[in-house]
Amino acid sequence: MSFESLPYTLRWVEDILYVIDQTKLPEQFIEVPLRNIDDVYVAIKTLQVRGAPAIGVAGAYGLCICAQKYLNDSPNMFMQNLGNDAKYLNSARPTAVNLSWAIKRVMKRLYGCVQFTTEQMYGEILDEATKIHQEDLITCRQIGEHGRDLIQEGFGILTHCNAGSLATSRLGTATAPMYLAQEQKKRFKVYADETRPLCQGSKLTAWELQRAGIDVTLICDDMAASVMASGRIQLVIVGADRVAANGDTANKIGTLGVAIMAKHFGIPFYVAIPTSTLDIQSACGHDIEIEQRGKDEVCFFGEKRTAPVDIQVLNPAFDVTPSYLVTGFITEKGIVKPPYEKNLKAILK
């Protein structure tokens, strides 16, 4: 088995967007059709489709779905209505910068078509969404090519949450070096953090790595320090939802703890991202809005209540890892090392 056995996370077929419903994994593999703006919003908000690159692609195609109902409007009304829809879709997940990046990119293409008919406008934005999708496929492969040499024979690799094929169009960001190292016949072992409270590590990362034939072991989040101390881990690779200009990195809650532990044990800590995840407008991590999610995610495990009724709950979906804990960023343009404020801006040029 290899990553070739993995399904595509998103498919655009006959003007309908199909996504894998990731809330059903690993028990059920179901693709759901997204036919209108509310379908797309709910799919992103409820994590049917998730991962920064994947929701960027979903947002881009989502605008195309929205545009289909405005084809009989005047060009001005077409643009105005789609602008309102763009704001609505963009509010679904505030932390992951790829969503706003993709939506802005599609709308920029639209604003360059003021003299076009609505049919022509639709063709233009669909072309842009398709390009975003295809670029993500290429970008993930390039991230894998730049990162695979970090993985040496016999390594143990820790990852957190899911920055895998399911979080992108395919191959993933953090997992792309693993899949391409597998392609080179390297032997290594991956330890996947469970990632409470929604267990993306156990439900998604473990599922896809096992399906691809990667040697993967699932651990609870609170086991990471012990596993590192035992000498089983030689490398940490995670993804990110937004990276500030100075290299501060917002990723799934729990990543900060993993980075601190890796620093303590002298283990390299890499963040794998497409350059579209860079937010140069945010100077540092304090400028990144952190999504707060509902209390039921913490108070229930599946359908079983695991906390007292009416207990107060704090449930931030992300934390921010300061740049000094990051060994390097694996991007489609190469591995970026400190000083990040200079070198991250440089790769965007």
Q: Which residues are annotated as a binding site?
A: 50-52, 93, 200, 251-252
| DSSP one-letter string for 31-92 | EEEE-SHHHHHHHHHTTSS-SHHHHHHHHHHHHHHHHGGGTTS-HHHHHHHHHHHHHHHHTS
Q: Crossing angle of helices 75-90/52-67, nearest 10°?
A: 150
Cβ(274)–Cβ(53) below 8 Å: yes
Q: What are the binding residues for substrate?
A: 50-52, 93, 200, 251-252
Comparing CA positions, the residue from 314, 338, 144, 109 lying closest to residue 239 is 144
Tell me the C-alpha distance between 207 and 49, whole Å.
Answer: 16
Q: Can you list the positions of beta strands (E) in 133-229?
A: 156-159, 189-193, 216-219
Strands 16-20 and 31-34: antiparallel
Query: Which of these is catalytic: 39, 241, 248, 319?
Result: 241
Give dist(CA 267, CA 330) in Å, integer.
16
- Partners of 12 in beta bridges: 17
Beta strands in 83-215 (DSSP E): 156-159, 189-193
Candidates 177, 136, 208; CA nearest to 328 is 177
Buried b (16+ CB within 10 A) or exposed e, 100-128: bbbbebbbebbeebeeeebeebbebbbeb
Work out the number of other CB atoms within 10 angstroms of the CB of residue 302.
7
Q: Is 193 a catalytic residue?
A: no
Comparing CA positions, the residue from 22, 28, 91 lying closest to residue 54 is 22
Q: Which residues are catalytic?
A: 241
